[in-house]
Amino acid sequence: MRIISRLNLKNQLLLLVGISTLMIFSLQIYYYSKFYSLAEDKENVHTSRIIRQVEENIISFTQDIKDAALASSYNTVIHDYMGSDDPIYRLKLNKNVLEIISGIKSSNKNIESIILVDKERNIVGASSPFDYLILGELEKKYHPDMRYPESQFFGKIYNPEKMEKLAYIYVHPVFSSLNETNDFTELGMVIVVYKTEILDRILTDIKATPSSLLLILDSEDNVVSADERFMKGSLFDSEILKGIESNNKDRQILFRGKLNHVQAKDIELLNWKIVSLIPVNEMTDELRLVRNIGFIMGTVMTLLILIMGLIFIRSVTIPFGRIVRFVNFIGNHGGKQRLQLPIKNEIGILSVEINKMLDKLDETNEKFIQAKTSLYQMEIAKKQAELSFLQSQINPHFLYNTLECIRSIGLAHGVMEIVEISTSMAKIFRYSIKEDNFVRIRNELDCIQDYVRIMSIRYMDKFSVTISIDEDILDMRMPKMILQPIVENAIYHGLERKNGKGILTITGLVTADQTVRFDISDSGKGMKVEELENLRQSLRAAVPTEGGIASRGLGLLNIHQRIRLAFGEQYGIEINSIDNEGTQVILHIPLLSNRMEVSSESSTLCSETNP
């Protein structure tokens, strides 16, 4: 790693391109060398599956033949027929026997015929002269085995001088089951002559490659069935199969002028053998195109990586070298020069950002110089701000003293209304100028009660007030002076204009989504539809509409903006009103705990607002 880190950027990129090219080239060599072996292994596995499938079909085929023989040998009518020595009785049963044999044969299309032979080896049930020829040739060929026959499949039966076609048979003995003793008497045997055409179709349907050969050989190496029909019945060259064990996957022989992979599988029940020969070149024919395409693509990719790598190295190192030289020059000499690179990639963006950085650096230097020259002016402004703050502390004390003077005069003359108004007004004023912009809900309600007390005296109990606030939220926090302007709007613009006595209702609770909801409702004048819609539109836009809104709307809009700026657009004011029936203002704010610290930004946004 240290050696590589000491190389310059150009040599590092050259090393990366060289290693990448070498890796792809090595991968291509490995891919090419393993291609043939993988393809052959895959084809061998595929051929083994084909042979296994053929074997399963043959086993199923032989089981059907055996089932037909069993159905004949265990039939009681056939037992009665073959065990009787009375010709007249047997003649009566002959029709039934033929119907039974015909039914068994028709249930399996692979059966050529079913022959019944008695214990003296006389045919007692035959459907054609061909059956007699089969029995005669069977006894000639397997004379010793036919004395006491067992259930077995025999080899090919064929006499070219007498028989027109091959015959493959299955023999099953017939024993009497009509006596009551356990000593079964031999009655004869059942010979089932079966067809092999279905095996031809099976082999043809699963041909592996165009020139492959799949065949079934009997015990004498005669071709029982093959995917090439002309070979059926011929004698296969047994020299080809010498030294080939069952399921051998590695043997290769020369057959029909081509090198072939050979696999063989013995079927012990029939003493048959399944043989597969596949030309070696055809085993990879289907994948040769893929191999060639992969080799060409690998070569092209290698060349592309090499060419693109060289182009990339040139496109990176030259501009990067210019940037390094420019930075060294600016760092040592300074000046107003800027880097000019006519490219649009990341290096071009880097040059643009370097120019921006230099521009900002010059701008910062100029601002720093200006800041030094204006330091004296800033000190003067600071002193003026401190003086204004001291003056602002004098005015509240003067107003408190004035209200206390009015209260004392009211007490002296016994005018309790003046006493109550001045006391409430002093509380409201003291509450409104507190430095804290977030207060307890309890304190905001005290301010509203003081304000309602003043309004009740002024309007001589023109309205009644009902306040219902959940105890759980009284110690929660809320922005200061946002309920009082809404209550003031309800009195001035709703209840004052109403003929007769009105009702003002103030409720507060916590909703399911942890939001504090205040509901200020009055039974006053209400608003017309057009006025209500203009007000709602102004609240949605957070600015007055072009047509303008009433004075009540300006106060509500101000409160709505304060809440949304402090807590987000999901909070604020909703308004419902019906002309001559009343107005409802719903206020939503988040649930703020007693110990929650509000950011200075939110506190600034929630400054005091008049209606």
Question: Same domain, yes or no, for 473 and 590?
Answer: yes
Question: Same domain, yes or no, for 468 and 601?
Answer: yes
Question: Same domain, yes or no, for 601 and 471?
Answer: yes
The verdict on residue 373 lying in a domain is no
Question: Same domain, yes or no, for 474 and 595?
Answer: yes
The verdict on residue 266 lying in a domain is no
Domain boundary (170, 195, 220) is at 195
**How many Å apart are CA 227 and CA 232, to the nearest integer?**
9
The verdict on residue 451 lying in a domain is no
Residue in the block written with tokens 């599956």: 49
The verdict on residue 27 lying in a domain is no
Mean pLDDT of 507-527: 93
Model confidence pLDDT, tens digit, residues 565-611: 888 888 999 999 999 899 999 999 998 876 544 443 344 333 333 33
- The residues near 220 (Cβ < 8 Å, ≥ 6 apart) are 155, 156, 235
Domain boundary (180, 195, 210) is at 195
The verdict on residue 201 lying in a domain is no
Sheet holding 252-255, edge to edge: 223-226, 213-217, 272-279, 258-267, 252-255
Do the Cβ atoms of 70 and 172 come closer than 8 Å? yes
Q: What is the pLDDT of residue 381?
A: 45
The verdict on residue 407 lying in a domain is no
Model confidence pLDDT, tens digit, residues 402-459: 777 887 887 877 778 888 888 888 888 788 777 677 899 999 999 999 989 888 888 8
Q: What is the pLDDT of residue 36?
A: 65
The verdict on residue 591 lying in a domain is yes
Name the residue among 483, 489, 402, 502 with its Cα closest to residue 443.
483
**How many Å apart are CA 362 and CA 347, to the nearest integer?**
23
Mean pLDDT of 122-145: 72
Mean pLDDT of 56-75: 86
The verdict on residue 203 lying in a domain is no
Domain count for the chain, please give it. 3
Do the Cβ atoms of 542 and 560 come closer than 8 Å? yes
* Backbone angles phi and psi of 106, in degrees to 5: -70, -20
- Name the pTM for this structure: 0.42
Domain boundary (160, 175, 195) is at 195
Asked if residue 337 has pLDDT above 70, the reply is yes
Model confidence pLDDT, tens digit, residues 452-508: 988 888 888 788 999 999 998 999 999 888 898 899 999 988 888 888 889 999 999
Residue 137 maps to which CATH number? 3.30.450.20
Q: How many residues does the chain have?
A: 611
Question: Same domain, yes or no, for 590 and 480?
Answer: yes
Q: What is the pLDDT of residue 380?
A: 57
Residue 594 maps to which CATH number? 3.30.565.10
Name the residue among 182, 184, 216, 213 with its Cα closest to residue 198.
216
Asked if residue 77 has pLDDT above 50, the reply is yes
Domain extent at residue 170:
74-195
